[in-house]
């Protein structure tokens, strides 16, 4: 750069100083408390010598830059936080009087904003923006304010809810189980009477000989025996001796009578012995039937 050009720049700063715009914003009339749905009106004073169009908004915030709140613009619409600054209340360059403007601004909280944490203490201030998109603001001093109202109710998410879709796989049909027959109740066992032990005669086959049943004799049987015995005695042939003995016997009659009586006596002895034997056998049989059998 030549010395002549440098001198021109220096002289231009000296004789044509740059215009510097000093902006100040203040407000008044803000109540100490306000309901969350209540609108209010404040007085804004702005000093901006040589400013172009300005755009004003009121902002509530708990701390930092978490701004929320609505500002009524020139067409009567309520505008919240917007990147388009021209949506706020406009103060035109022609509205300035000697670089100053004073007017009313309507503001109110915005309880539907996520930055609103429910009733409590907050701060409030007024910002001045230019027409540039996302332009930064010139802020007024802040003032404490209490926002009243009912406590917040948790708001459900307005996004679409994913409804779980059941799988479309074909269900496998399980074989139906055959119902088992119900168990038939068993009849209660009837108590059996205790068996009376009966002594049964046990015959040792190895030693005992079989007992033959004997018919008990009756008196007619004895009589028939006696009759039969008489017949046998009467029918017994008398021995006949030939020769001399025959003559002797015929001559000697007493001898024959003696022999006859001897034969009759022997027969009667046999009959008596048989009767005694039969009576003894009958008594023995009766005695066995009357006595209980012995158990071996």
Positive or negative: CA dihedral 73, 75, 78, 82: negative
pLDDT tier, 182 (very low <50, low <70, confident <90, very high otherwise): low
pLDDT per position as a tens digit, 239-296: 544 454 444 445 455 545 555 556 678 788 888 888 988 888 888 887 777 666 555 4
**245 CB neighbour count, 10 Å cutoff:** 11
- pLDDT at site 280: 86
Domains of the chain: 22-148 (2.60.40), 219-290 (no CATH)
CB 145 within 8 A of CB 109: no
**Bridge partners, residue 30, by sequence:** none
Between the alpha carbon of residue 205 and those of residues 201, 285, 289, the distances in Å are 12, 21, 20
pLDDT at residue 115 greater than cutoff 70? yes
Q: Which residue has the higher pLDDT, 248 or 166?
A: 166
Q: Is 0.85 topped by the overall pTM?
A: no
- pLDDT at site 40: 97
pLDDT tier, 133 (very low <50, low <70, confident <90, very high otherwise): confident
The whole-angstrom separation of Cα 226 and Cα 228 is: 5
**Bridge partners, residue 103, by sequence:** 44
pLDDT per position as a tens digit, 47-60: 988 889 999 999 99
Positive or negative: CA dihedral 260, 266, 268, 274: negative
């Amino acid at each position: 750069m030549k010395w002549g050009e440098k001198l021109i720049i220096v002289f231009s700063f000296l004789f044509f100083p740059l215009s510097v715009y000093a902006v100040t914003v203040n407000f008044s009339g803000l109540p100490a408390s306000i309901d969350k749905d209540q609108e209010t009106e404040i007085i804004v004073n702005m000093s901006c010598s040589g400013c172009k169009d300005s755009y004003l908004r009121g902002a509530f915030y708990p701390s930092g830059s978490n701004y929320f709140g609505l500002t009524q613009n020139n067409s009567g619409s309520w505008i919240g936080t917007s990147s388009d600054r021209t949506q706020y209340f406009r103060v035109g360059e022609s509205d300035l009087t000697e670089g100053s403007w004073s007017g009313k601004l309507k503001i109110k909280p915005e309880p539907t904003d996520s930055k609103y944490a429910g009733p409590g203490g907050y701060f409030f201030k007024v910002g001045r923006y230019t027409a540039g998109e996302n332009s930064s603001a010139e802020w007024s001093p802040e003032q404490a304010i209490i926002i009243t109202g009912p406590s917040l109710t948790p708001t459900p998410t307005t996004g679409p809810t994913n409804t779980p879709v059941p799988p479309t796989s074909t269900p496998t049909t399980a074989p139906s189980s055959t119902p088992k027959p119900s168990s038939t109740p068993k009849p209660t066992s009837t108590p059996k009477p205790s068996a009376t032990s009966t002594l049964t005669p046990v015959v040792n086959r190895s030693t005992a000989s079989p007992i033959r049943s004997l018919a008990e004799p009756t008196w007619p049987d004895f009589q028939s025996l006696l009759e039969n015995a008489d017949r046998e005695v009467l029918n017994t042939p008398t021995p006949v001796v030939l020769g001399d003995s025959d003559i002797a016997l015929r001559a000697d009659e007493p001898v024959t009578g003696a022999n006859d009586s001897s034969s009759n006596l022997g027969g009667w002895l046999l009959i008596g012995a048989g009767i005694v034997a039969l009576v003894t056998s009958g008594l023995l049989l009766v005695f066995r039937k009357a006595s209980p059998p012995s158990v071996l």
